[in-house]
Amino acid sequence: MRTNRFVPYLFLLPAVAILALGLLVPLYNSVMLSFYDWGFGQPWSARRFLGFANFQRLVTDPTVWASVRTTFVFGFWVVTLEMLIGVGLALLLEKAVRGASFIRTIFVMPLMIAPVVVGLIWRYLLDARNGVINYYLTEIGEALPFLQSLGFKTQTWLADPTLAMVSIIVSDVWQWTPFVFMIVLAGLQGLPGDVMEAAYIDGANWWKMTWHVKLPMLRNILLIALLMRIIDVFRALEVIFIMTGGGPGSSTRVLSLALFQTAFTSQDLGYAATIALLLSVILIIFSIVLLLYSNPLKDKADF
């Protein structure tokens, strides 16, 4: 019997070994590169050993920590809005009502668009001179002048620091909320029917059913969706790069964009590897915290 317990792990071992190899080799190369000064076009033999100089530079680099702060602001609003909207829509569209399938299909379409195309779409929509959004804001503001004080007029969306941040948040929410929606909807449709029926028999209304039955049973699914969105937020690059390039100034320069610019614009690969390690550490911390919360020790007390 004890031997049979290890059989599933033996079948999983090849896949785990391949995944570990694909993870550990790049991580090892990144760690090694962070100790050197090396750039594109140079042979590896021309590298210059710096020791911990790149790490000391990272600790005292205000631009990197400003990018970390920008990433957390961007991530907080993006993840919060996507989770709230995605879960809310999944709860509303879980029933087989007329038109629900069509709405689901339309709603997931942004997820199928490449990030580069999403960036171009929103850049053209938000263009200060020819953008569709400014056109309709101006039309409404001219028709109802009292609305101009509420912002119904031409806006420099991508040239104002605050509006630029709002713009990249809206574009990310538009593209990735369907991801949360699909995961939560699949979880809702997989809930055991006998539990739902028992709750209805006990007199639970829709509100109590949602808060006290459905959402608690979906806890792990929600945490996994949350973790995946946090990881994607810290990897967000293409849409922001195309829409704002990190500007105006550095108001939308998230950490992944700072990493990209350090590596490919400044061609400082050693320091870029150090920033990548910082990014990895942040994601590892988030992953550990959320995975521990999704699998608390009290749930394993019987093992």
pLDDT for 41 beyond 70: yes
Q: What is the pLDDT of residue 301?
A: 45
Residue 2 lies in a domain: no
**What angle (nearest 5°) sits at the alpha carbon of residue 234, between those of residues 44 and 179?**
130
| Gap between the Cα atoms of 199 and 65, Å rounded | 49
pLDDT for 1 beyond 80: no
- Strand, helix or coil for residue 197: helix
The residue type at 122: W
**Sign of torsion, CA 105 110 112 117?**
positive
Across residues 97-106, what is the average pLDDT?
75
Q: What is the pLDDT of residue 96?
A: 67
Q: What is the pLDDT of residue 281?
A: 93
**What angle (nearest 5°) sits at the alpha carbon of residue 64, between those of residues 60 and 66?**
105
pLDDT confidence bin for 238, thresholds 50/70/90:
very high
Residue-averaged pLDDT of the chain: 87
**Sign of torsion, CA 92 93 97 99?**
positive
- Helix, strand, coil distribution of the chain in percent, nearest 5: 75, 0, 25
Residue 22 lies in a domain: no
User: Can you say whether residue 99 is alpha, beta or left, with left for phi > 0 and alpha for psi between -120 and 50 degrees?
Assistant: left
Query: Residue 65's CB: how many other CB atoms inside 10 A?
Result: 15
- Residue 81: which domain range? 53-300
Across residues 22-49, what is the average pLDDT?
87
Across residues 131-139, what is the average pLDDT?
91
Phi and psi angles of residue 81, each rounded to the nearest 5 degrees, phi first:
-65, -40
Burial of residue 158 (number of CB atoms within 10 Å: 0-12, 13-18, 19+): buried
Residue 202 lies in a domain: yes
Region of poorest pLDDT, from 109-118, 198-207, 269-278: 198-207
Percent of the chain with pLDDT over 70: 95
Q: What is the pLDDT of residue 260?
A: 94
Count of domains in the chain?
1
pLDDT for 61 beyond 90: yes
Residue 81 lies in a domain: yes
Residue 197 lies in a domain: yes
pLDDT for 196 beyond 80: no
* Residue with token string 């009290």: 298
Express each pLDDT in 10-34 by its tens digit: 888 888 889 888 888 888 889 999 9
Across residues 257-280, what is the average pLDDT?
92
> Mutual orientation of helices 115-125 and 132-143 as an angle, nearest 10°?
30
The residue type at 162: T
Residue 253 lies in a domain: yes
| Gap between the Cα atoms of 105 and 235, Å rounded | 26
CA atoms within 13 A on the CB side of 209: 16
Residue 75 lies in a domain: yes
| Gap between the Cα atoms of 74 and 171, Å rounded | 12
Q: What is the pLDDT of residue 302?
A: 43
Q: Specify the pTM.
A: 0.88
Tokens representing 242 are 């195309």
Tokens representing 53 are 């100089």
- Residue 105 sits in a domain whose CATH number is 1.10.3720.10
Residue 44 lies in a domain: no
Burial of residue 290 (number of CB atoms within 10 Å: 0-12, 13-18, 19+): middle
Q: What is the pLDDT of residue 3?
A: 58
- The number of angstroms, rounded, from the C-alpha of 178 to the middle of its chain's C-alpha atoms is 12
C-alpha distances in Å from residue 257, one per residue of 63, 251, 270, 283 = 12, 12, 16, 16
